[in-house]
Amino acid sequence: MKARMQNPAKLLPDAMNGIQNLYKAMHQGGVEPRTLDLVHLRASQINGCSACVHGGVTGAKKGGETDERLHAVAAWRETPFFSDSERAALALTEAATRLADRSGQAVPDAIWDEAADHFTEEQLAAIILMIATTNFFNRLNATIQEPAGTNWG
């Protein structure tokens, strides 16, 4: 498989700098890197972004994540492998990624309240930025058909 074009984040002069600044900010938000990795992976799974799923698994494994947990992210509700705070982050990820799946509140109060019970506002900001940035990359990669295993960063 070959991408339709070079990734737009590489083509425009300042795009990569902005993206790197977002990642730097997210990782200064006080959320465990493993949780941010799970958020990235789950959003990418929902959106069917093979490049981001591959990159997310690769990055999470480098960060010490286990195969057992990585294999279970898509079915996190039915497994015992995730903490309550990780479950809250994953639920928030699903709601914020699937905005059009609900009429009324895209992110229901119950999901928000559960996440807010586990994370400070600064931590929630980091998680929300990870969700949004991942969805951004998923859309870029899906549009240009970026293949899994590409290292363009």
pLDDT digits (tens, 9 = 90+) for 37-96: 999 999 999 999 999 999 999 999 999 999 999 999 999 999 999 999 999 999 999 999
| CATH code for position 102 | 1.20.1290.10
Is 15 a member of any domain? no
Nearest-angstrom CA–CA distance, 81 and 22: 29
- Domain of 128 in residue numbering reads as 33-144
Report yes or no: 50 and 1 within 8 Å, Cβ to Cβ. Answer: no
CA atoms of 124 and 129, how far apart (whole Å) = 8
Largest CA distance in the chain: 45
- Which tokens sit at 10? 């590489």
For the chain, how many structural domains are there in total? Answer: 1
At 151 the pLDDT is 61
In a domain, 24, yes or no: no
Structural domain includes residue 149: no
Q: Confirm whether 14 is domain-assigned.
A: no
Give a yes or no: residue 103 inside a domain.
yes
The answer to whether residue 11 sits within a structural domain is no
Q: 101 in a domain, yes or no?
A: yes
Q: Comparing 150 with 9, which gets the higher pLDDT? A: 9
pTM of the model: 0.93
pLDDT level of residue 9 (50, 70, 90 thresholds)? confident
Instruction: Flag whether pLDDT at 152 surpasses 80.
Output: no
